[in-house]
Amino acid sequence: MSAFASIAKTLNNLKAYNSTPQLFRFTSIRTLLLRSASESLKLQKFTDSDSGIFELTLERPETKNAIGRDMLKRLEYTFDAVNKDNTAKVLMISSSVPKVFCAGADLKERKTMSSSEIKDFVHRLRSTFSLLEELNVPTIAVIEGAALGGGLEMALSCDLRICVEDTVLGLPETGLAIIPGAGGTQRLSRLVGKSIAKDLIFTGRKITGRDAVSIGLVNYCVSSGEAHLKALGIARDIIQKGPLAIRMAKRAINGGFEVDMVSALELEENCYEQLLHTKDRLEGLAAFAERRKPEYTGE
């Protein structure tokens, strides 16, 4: 099928989609082009009252969403595109594959790589997850199935993680005589502490969603089938707040966590001062005084 035929087919599907009641709709030509170019990802822009919420869906069922060269390239492109889109306020990352979030790297593809190719791939994967971590909008991993290896490393790069009770999470790399190489050793230890991170990485054992929430690996653990709805509720809460304030809060938290307290407080002060002369700050004060809902424009 040609690219034009594929896009036409997608447009026809969209017409049918718009004719039925749905939780959300999207209207982005970038979404259509990305969808036709690669069946491994789908980027959606929510509209109407949910405007500002973006959702990236992993769609590679034949490999359980394992990340190969093509999918990595699409992830790089998508994260960069979201970061440059001024209408983005929240990014949710989910999966359309039942019982799977992401199985990690595509090991069948990796078997065909040379040592230098593997080194380059892992470096790009690490850089891509760092890009995800540094996005200027909040990110939410919606984990409704297994998140293993690179899949868990991707979730660790998000700001928030929501899973279901029967979710399975783990970093099994030591069983393959390697280590988590896309940020897993560093992000996991910062999130749950060195001792628990060593336990999980040294043994390579898998834990359930209930265990994950008890150690602080995920923010919320909900009943099966409810993770997406929970994430959407959180995203809706976020988009009601001042978008510039959310961006500055993320910058202050992320940057301050890695430095001493004096430097962290200086960073917080700098981030706060950048909000003092914004229209949004004045709108927030006016709305409070007038007892109405604020209408933030990101200015």
Give, in order, the Cα–Cα distances in Å from 262 to each of 59, 226, 251, 259, 268.
Answer: 45, 41, 16, 8, 10
The predicted model gives 162-189 an average pLDDT of 95
Token couple for 154: 């991707």
Give, in order, the Cα–Cα distances in Å from 164 to each of 43, 99, 189, 227, 229.
Answer: 23, 10, 22, 6, 11
> Does residue 20 register a pLDDT over 80?
no
* Partners of 92 in the β-ladder: 55, 140
Query: 44-91, pLDDT tens digit by residue?
Result: 999 888 989 999 999 999 999 999 999 999 999 999 999 999 999 999
H/E stretch holding 104 reads: none
Of the candidates 52, 141, 170, 173, the residue annotated as catalytic is 173
Catalytic, 173? Answer yes
In which band, very low, low, confident or very high, does the pLDDT at 94 lie, cut at 50, 70 and 90? very high
What pLDDT shows up at residue 198? Answer: 97
Give 279's contacts (C-beta < 8 A, 6+ positions apart): 297, 299
> Does residue 203 register a pLDDT over 60?
yes
Q: What is the mean pLDDT of the chain?
A: 86
pTM of the model: 0.85
Of the candidates 88, 103, 105, 155, the residue annotated as catalytic is 105
Per residue, what are the HEC states of 156-220?
HCCCEEEEECCCEEECCHHHHCCCCCCCHHHHHHHHHCHHHHHHHHHHCCCEEHHHHHHCCCCCE
Of the candidates 150, 151, 183, 242, the residue annotated as catalytic is 150
Cα(202)–Cα(209) distance, integer angstroms: 20
> Does residue 32 register a pLDDT over 60?
no
In this structure, are residues 60 and 71 in contact, taking their beta carbons and an 8 Å threshold?
yes
In this structure, are residues 146 and 167 in contact, taking their beta carbons and an 8 Å threshold?
yes
Cα(192)–Cα(215) distance, integer angstroms: 6
Cα(223)–Cα(144) distance, integer angstroms: 10
Cα(192)–Cα(189) distance, integer angstroms: 5
What pLDDT shows up at residue 39? Answer: 67
> Does residue 122 register a pLDDT over 90?
yes
Cα(294)–Cα(215) distance, integer angstroms: 37
Distance of CA 19 to the CA centre of its chain: 29
* Range in 20-29, 124-133, 238-247, 250-259 with the lowest mean pLDDT: 20-29
The predicted model gives 101-119 an average pLDDT of 89
* Partners of 139 in the β-ladder: 91
Cα(209)–Cα(215) distance, integer angstroms: 10
Catalytic, 76? Answer no
Tell which wins on pLDDT, 15 or 238.
238
> Does residue 12 register a pLDDT over 60?
no
Q: Percent of the chain having pLDDT more than 90? A: 71
Cα(112)–Cα(114) distance, integer angstroms: 7
Of the candidates 103, 153, 155, 252, the residue annotated as catalytic is 153
Q: Percent of the chain having pLDDT more than 70? A: 87
Cβ–Cβ contacts within 10 Å for residue 196, how many?
A: 16
Query: 235-248, pLDDT tens digit by residue?
Result: 999 999 999 999 99
Query: 207-224, pLDDT tens digit by residue?
Result: 999 999 999 999 999 999
Catalytic, 165? Answer no
Catalytic, 153? Answer yes
First-to-last C-alpha distance (Å) of the chain = 44
The predicted model gives 226-230 an average pLDDT of 95
**Angle formed at CA 42 by CA 30 and CA 79, multiple of 5 degrees:** 70
Pairing of strands 207-208, 168-170: antiparallel
Place of tokens 């996005």: 135
In this structure, are residues 199 and 179 in contact, taking their beta carbons and an 8 Å threshold?
no
Tell which wins on pLDDT, 4 or 109.
109
